[in-house]
Amino acid sequence: MSSSVSGSKILSFGHYQPSRILTNDDLAQMVDTNDEWIQSRVGIKERRIADGESVADMAALAAEKALAASGLSATDIDLIVVATCSNSDRSPNTACRVAAKLGIGAPAAFDLNTACSGFSYALANADHAIKAGASKNALVIGVEKLSEITDWSDRSTCVIFGDGAGAAVVTAISEGEEPGIGPVVWGSDPSEAIAIEGWRPYIVQEGQKVFRWATTAVPAIALAACQKAGVEPAELGGFVPHQANLRIIEPLARKIGVNPDVLARDIVESGNTSAASIPLALSKMIERGEVKSGASVLLVGFGGGLTYAGQVIRCP
């Protein structure tokens, strides 16, 4: 029987976005909207739209970059967890398809769907598996192709969403090493303010209800994750909430006392990419040198379900 270990850490991140850019001016040619209307309400200037790439394609491309940066090989990976709510196929799951694309032999592989909190849920599952001794090296991926389930005639939703993927490589820590992934704070709310239901193939949401919930409930979740990790919000070197709406995440950072300079604002150029938004935003911040290695970074996912999850990580 495998013995448990004391924790895990993140070795690397990687991301992928489609090349096709859909601007607010482009959307103004499709529905009754304009750049000022969109930016004033959600803070988005543009988003990426998949043009032929599948959910599994984008997941594999992000994972490939994370794996290349980790120093590990495909044969080292024994677990793949994919967070997504937009995969159109029920089986095989996306995780198995990523394994096949990357030549990863026989990993444990599963998808999970908690929509916008998905990456934080997936990261917690990988961390728990490593702590239990069931895994040593894991790929954790958030990926969405929301363009396929967006009603492009509905201006209340089509201006928000985009496509993309982000991935992290997670590994067991060495003896005596401090854990790099803090305790998760997670849960759900019975509200169905955001839904993608089988009989109706598009995303629908009660925007004001989601806004009120996010601005009132999420601050306590963020503070609880910091408290469990023993980190003060002002000490954070990065804050990466789900990129839902700039008008939600900027007040959130102020409310919990985070330095606004360390807040991820990828929503502006990527839109809301649901489960992909946290790893996508953080990978890009790391690539630009905006978050230093070893810094404490707070991740908080929240949305569809409604579900939420958050934890503090050490930046690789």
Under a CB-based contact definition with an 8 Å cutoff, are residues 48 and 21 in contact? yes
**pLDDT tens-digit series, residues 125-137:** 999 999 999 999 9
Q: What is the pLDDT of residue 191?
A: 81
pTM (two decimals): 0.97
In a domain, 180, yes or no: no
Average pLDDT, the chain: 96
Tell me: pLDDT of 267 over 70: yes
Round to whole Å and give the CA distance between 314 and 130.
Answer: 16
Show the CA angle centred on residue 158, arms to residues 188 and 82, nearest 5°: 45
Tell me: pLDDT of 269 over 60: yes
Instruction: Output the domain CATH number for residue 84.
Output: 3.40.47.10
**Domain range enclosing 222:** 185-314
In angstroms, what CA-CA distances link 267 with 142, 147, 172, 231? 15, 16, 32, 26
Under a CB-based contact definition with an 8 Å cutoff, are residues 167 and 316 in contact? no
Indicate whether 165 and 290 sit together in one domain. Answer: no
In a domain, 178, yes or no: no
Per the structure, the count of domains in the chain is: 2
Under a CB-based contact definition with an 8 Å cutoff, are residues 17 and 270 in contact? yes
* Phi and psi angles of residue 293, each rounded to the nearest 5 degrees, phi first: -60, 135
Q: Confidence band (pLDDT; 50, 70, 90) for 196?
A: confident
Tell me: pLDDT of 4 over 90: no
Helix, strand, coil tally for the chain in percent (to 5): 40, 25, 35
Indicate whether 166 and 258 sit together in one domain. Answer: no
Percent of the chain scoring above 90 in pLDDT: 90
List the catalytic residues.
116, 242, 272
In a domain, 177, yes or no: no
Tell me: pLDDT of 121 over 70: yes
Tell me: pLDDT of 1 over 50: no
Tell me: pLDDT of 2 over 60: no
**pLDDT tens-digit series, residues 197-249:** 887 789 888 888 889 999 999 999 999 999 999 999 999 999 999 999 999 99
Which of 148, 172, 196 represents a domain boundary (last residue)? 172
Q: Confidence band (pLDDT; 50, 70, 90) for 304?
A: confident
Q: Confidence band (pLDDT; 50, 70, 90) for 70?
A: very high
In a domain, 1, yes or no: no
In a domain, 212, yes or no: yes
Tell me: pLDDT of 156 over 80: yes
Distance, C-alpha 89 to centroid of its chain: 20
Indicate whether 290 and 227 sit together in one domain. Answer: yes
Q: What is the pLDDT of residue 3?
A: 65
Indicate whether 202 and 236 sit together in one domain. Answer: yes
